[in-house]
Chains A and B, each alone.
Chain A
Amino acid sequence: MIKLHFDGKECTGTKGQTILEVALANGITTIPTLCWLEGLHPEGACRMCVVEVEGSPKMLTACTSPAEDGMKILTRTDKLKEYRKQILELLFAGRNHFCMYCSASGDCELQALAIEHGMDSVRYPYLFPNIENDTTSSDFMVDRNRCVLCDRCIRTCQEIVGACSLGLEKRGWVTNVISDLGEKFGNSSTCVSCGACAQACPTGTITIREQAYRGRRKDCDKAVEATCPLCAMGCKINVHVRRNSLVRIDGVTGSKYADGGQLCRKGRIELLRASEGPRLTTPMIRSGAGFREASWDEVLDLITEKINKADKSKSGAVASLMTPIDELKYFAGFFGALGIKTDCREGRVPPEAKYVKESHVRSADDSINDRENEVNRMRSILAASPWLGVGSEPSEKEPVGKGMLSLDFLFFRTTGLVEPCVDVLDALDHSKFSVVQTPYISHPMAYLADVLIPAAAWFELAGICEPAVSIKEMCEVLESLAVRLAIKIKEV
């Protein structure tokens, strides 16, 4: 154990820690940082974190200098304040930091530092460099005019993502961040579009289109830590919420979790986009070519009636792979008691959603399969049914045979986050009566159902947002049905 003083306050640390690490662990917040980011190797590039040590003429960068026993550290001498302010002025003068036109304004660490240091004017001329922006990627925009060359994006892409897409070009004042040795971002062959760099960027240089105008972190009411619902990797996500809607999804940085704060493109971008569809707010019953609103009682009575009439061997229940495991258990117990086969499947990854290629992220894909095996204990009705084999896609391959298929009853619980696969759509198409429980009204699934019942969205189930509508949870729905059907739900 070592003892250090920060502006007179005694703090303890361990040998091998940097000055900044000791400071942070002891709640010292007077050391400004810009290029430092938890979980990355310190770079010592911005020089904002310099401190003075009593009895030494040298200025030390807190983020890189090892803490030594007995150091008397000064974090806010007049000289330091002046130097830090000068650096900030240089950064502002060097590129185009006009905050009112920046999507990061309010979230920007550079801006926050300027405010903190009372930088109300810039004594150096603005240089207005002629720097190219890169908007070629469909997921990101890169406005290098706002870059402070802190290297956080480059280190993130290298140390956490492992894609090593980013680097620097040129020297001196014309240095810039580039991808793939100068290739445009949109043409990058190494980038996995995970967006980790954008999260690491302290300024508005790298922005994710999907996030840019939903709002800033600073304007959010809260940020909730949760688990990404999309696959069995279970990456930790930090969901920013404003007025009960999702604004952005970040990885949880730092070394707290095994994922190192990394998310894949689906988790960061697709999930956010998918969470936003038109919501189903009340139960609906088919009426001609459309639907009409109905009460819960009416709907439940109708379903009871149809189940009672149906040939159980020609009935099925399918739940999304992304359904929470507690719900799944209920689901299996309920239909098991009725003797109806259950299956778990959701959609395909839409082809345009560029899937994560890198090794440790790719295992997310495998994990979906793992989980599928796990829930396959509930057997696949669709595979077992005489009329449909997994992947047979009769509507594509055997259009004639398709007419011969039919189900009496089908129940489908979906999260609505991805499109259902063709198997499910086929089954819906060929059911005499089908119930779809979904948070969103999404097509073509909604066309095919006879009854739609609203479900909670993933972020409501995870307690991130208040349920926006009067929604019954699945257990509640099944419970009511069990009473009507006079059955007892099995323990699974």
Chain B
Amino acid sequence: MYRSHVLICNGTGCHSGGATETTEAIKKEIEKLSLANEVAVVPTGCHGMCEMGPIIVVYPEGTFYCRVNPEDGVEIVREHLAKGRTVERLMFRESERISVASYKELPFYSKQKRIALKNCGYINPDSIEEYIGHSGYEALGKCLTSLTQEQVIEELKKSGLRGRGGGGFPTGLKWSFCAKSPGPKKYVICNADEGDPGAFMDRSILEGDPHSIIEGMAIGAYAIGADEAYIYCRAEYPLAIERLKTAIAQAEEYGLLGEKIFGTDFSFEIHIKEGAGAFVCGEETALMGSIEGKRGMPRPRPPFPAVSGLWGKPTNINNVETWANVPQIILNGGEWYASMGTAESKGTKVFALTGKVKHTGLVEVPMGVTLREIIMEIGGGILNDKKFKAVQIGGPSGGCLTEDHLDTPVSYEDLTRLGAIMGSGGLVVMDEENCMIDVAKFFLEFTQRESCGKCSPCREGTKQMLIMLDEITKGNGKIEDIKKLEELALMVKNMSLCGLGQTAPNPLLTTLKYFRHEYEAHIIEKRCPAHVCSGLITFTIHADKCKRCGLCTKNCPAKCISGDKNTAYVIDNERCVKCGTCIDKCPFKAITKE
């Protein structure tokens, strides 16, 4: 028994923040002080608050240390572990004065409900014993020994779990389709492609709790009658792939994968397939094509994967987060899961909170909490206390919602009603310095680039929409463009083959709906209210404030500021590249942009 556990986050964020060096330093210091028999060091998965990394939590107190460098680590060992004095300096600060002592008290965590992320940050992902110690593989045992296939599916149906990969299709129902498909050979697939830029919820689970996915998949395979599975993971997640490989090997060693699991007739094996990272390869039919070695391009459905999937066999594909929820549902019952959430959206959802909020990171909340709670309470409000302007929800094909929608409960039905989507759970918060047309353009640029090029509305339509948006941001927009954009966006939405094209117009459509005045300002007044679109801003030096120091001229990369001690300084806006350097350099705040 150890008297203390030091949990060091080894998620990607903390890893690149120097967690490895810190771990080394801490281990050395523990050796030095001969504490090795009393204190255990546990590398864990992500805690979610990556921006504060490397993160260290000391148990049993649950003291939460942030941004711990190697020297800080040594200090924590000497002070906290050896002498029992917490290192105030390194603890998370809620505000200037109060530092929060324990994990549980952090507002970032107190509003969260962790099911999919339950073990992330608590256990060593490379240790199957720790997973088993946290009731791991109990659910699988329960299914194999005391539940029929129908009962497992029934439990999933009762839970109301819906696919977390974006589509939100009821998982139990999907399983039942595949279970009903005839044939001796079936597959299950875990979609770990996670192509949304900036998203890392699946990655955190893969890296922090790989066994939960394996267990979930085994349960799913048992329920539908499959004996083989693939985890399709992007090659850009080397750590995730490493951990998955370790976990699969461990599970095989423990007889939890392979032939005759738990002495039953159920046999199950899992392969890992590394994807090259195309966004569209996350689409299920493209993904299966990619596993088969073809070019990753969606194909029309029907036939649905449940009927004809991988290599033409009935296949059930679910997202990482969906799979991770499964063991918990079996252990605690479908009703328990369904007790959380709204009428049509049950349980919890993991979001990647980014943008202009104080605390960015991964958060798992019960369905039905409002956007305000997520942004203002968990996220701690807008960065630098600026004004909230919009939140883009659902990844690159999500929608932009406004202040008026902040009290909307987060659920599939409410978000869809507003023109946004749950997506895989991206939440980008924007303040008054974000131009909504620029935002729409940014996302469209992504979907346009990632379109597979197969169907004409998506391939050609996204390009034309992007061109029109670009013209608008350059000040060349015409008022008819708004109507043209709307028509085109609707056509692409209705006519595209796969989800990519069908949702790509969402950022455009929602900004047109909720921020139309900004479009009009760009087109009619030739003005970008957020001062973002370089084609529409001018820089002015105010003679009354200018002390003629010449710093702006010296620093201007375009060399477009003229003047000297005797004549006033002026900016030639024709040549100005709108970089804003002069504003930053002027010590007298004499330059403004308009």
Contacts and interface: CB of A to CB of B under 8 A. Distances in A.
Interface of A: 42-47, 50, 59, 61, 64-66, 82-83, 86-87, 90-91, 93-94, 123-125, 127, 148-149, 151, 167-168, 170-175
B277 to A, nearest CB: 12
A175 B452 CA distance: 8
A173 B456 contact: no
A172 B497 contact: no
B300 A47 contact: no
B510 to A, nearest CB: 19
B172 to A, nearest CB: 24
B453 A171 contact: yes
Contacts of A66: 302
Given A83-B495, A90-B461, A44 B449 contact: no
A31 to B, nearest CB: 15
A191 B463 CA distance: 33
Contact of B455 (A46, A93, A94, A171): A46
A87 B295 contact: no
B36 interface: no
B562 interface: no
Interface stretch (B428-436, B484-492, B563-571): B484-492
21 contacts: A43-B299, A44-B299, A44-B455, A45-B497, A47-B497, A61-B497, A65-B302, A83-B491, A86-B457, A86-B491, A94-B460, A151-B454, A168-B295, A170-B453, A171-B450, A171-B451, A172-B448, A172-B452, A172-B459, A172-B463, A173-B459
A94 B300 contact: no
Contacts of A46: 455-456
Nearest to B463: A173
Interface string B20-62: 0000000000000000000000000000000000000000000
A292 B211 CA distance: 95
A175 B278 CA distance: 14
A47 B454 contact: no
B280 interface: yes
B456 A87 contact: yes
Contacts of A86: 457, 487-488, 491
Contacts of B119: none
A66 B303 CA distance: 9
Contacts of B280: 171
Given A124-B464, A170-B453, 12 more contacts: A44-B497, A64-B300, A86-B457, A86-B488, A90-B456, A90-B461, A94-B459, A125-B464, A149-B453, A168-B295, A172-B463, A173-B451
Nearest to B302: A66
A171 B460 contact: no
Nearest to A154: B295
Interface in B419-456: 448-456
Nearest to B495: A47
Contact of B494 (A83, A93, A151): A83
A172 B487 contact: no
Contacts of B462: 172-173
Contacts of A123: 484
Contact of A47 (B295, B453, B456, B488): B456
Contacts, number: 100
Contact of B463 (A94, A167, A170): A94
A173 to B, nearest CB: 4
Secondary structure type dominating chain B contacts: helix
B456 A45 contact: yes
Contacts of A151: 454
Interface in B464-500: 464, 467, 484, 487-488, 491, 494-497
Interface string B522-554: 000000000000000000000000000000000
A87 B464 contact: no
Interface residues on B, range: 20 to 34
A264 B463 CA distance: 39
Interface string B281-312: 00000000000000101011010000000000
A209 B410 CA distance: 61
B448 A90 contact: no
B454 to A, nearest CB: 5
Contact of B449 (A45, A125, A172): A172
User: Counting chain A CB atoms within 10 Å of each CB, which of B299, B456, B464 scores highest?
Assistant: B456
Contacts of A45: 454-456, 497
A64 to B, nearest CB: 4
Contact of B278 (A47, A93, A171): A171
B451 A172 contact: yes
Contacts of A171: 278, 280, 449-453
Given A66-B302, A86-B487, A172-B448, A47 B457 contact: yes
Given A47-B496, A47-B497, A94-B463, A172 B300 contact: no
Nearest to A91: B456
B12 to A, nearest CB: 26
Nearest to B490: A83
Contacts of B461: 90
Nearest to B464: A124
- Listed from nearest, the 7 A-B pairs whose CB atoms lie closest are A175-B453, A90-B460, A44-B300, A64-B300, A172-B451, A173-B463, A94-B460
A412 to B, nearest CB: 54
A93 B449 contact: no
A195 to B, nearest CB: 24
Interface string B154-194: 00000000000000000000000000000000000000000
User: Counting chain B CB atoms within 10 Å of each CB, which of A46, A47, A50, A171 scores highest?
Assistant: A171
Nearest to A79: B494
Given A44-B497, A83-B495, A173 B453 contact: yes
A50 B463 CA distance: 22
Contacts of B448: 172-173
B300 A93 contact: no
A461 to B, nearest CB: 46
Contacts of B488: 86, 124
Contacts of A42: 300
Contacts of A59: 494-495
Nearest to A61: B300
Contacts of B464: 90, 93, 124-125
A64 B285 CA distance: 15
B130 to A, nearest CB: 41
Contact of B453 (A50, A65, A168): A168
A278 to B, nearest CB: 48
Contacts of B300: 42-44, 61, 64-65
B105 to A, nearest CB: 47
A44 B455 CA distance: 7
A66 B300 CA distance: 11
A263 B484 CA distance: 46
A358 to B, nearest CB: 21
Nearest to B460: A90
Contacts of A175: 452-454, 459
A50 B488 CA distance: 16
Contacts of B278: 171
B456 to A, nearest CB: 5
A67 B592 CA distance: 64
A400 to B, nearest CB: 62
Nearest to B296: A171
A439 B450 CA distance: 59
A61 B299 CA distance: 12
Contact of A149 (B302, B454, B457): B454
Nearest to A170: B453
A149 B456 CA distance: 8
B432 to A, nearest CB: 32
Contacts of B450: 171-172
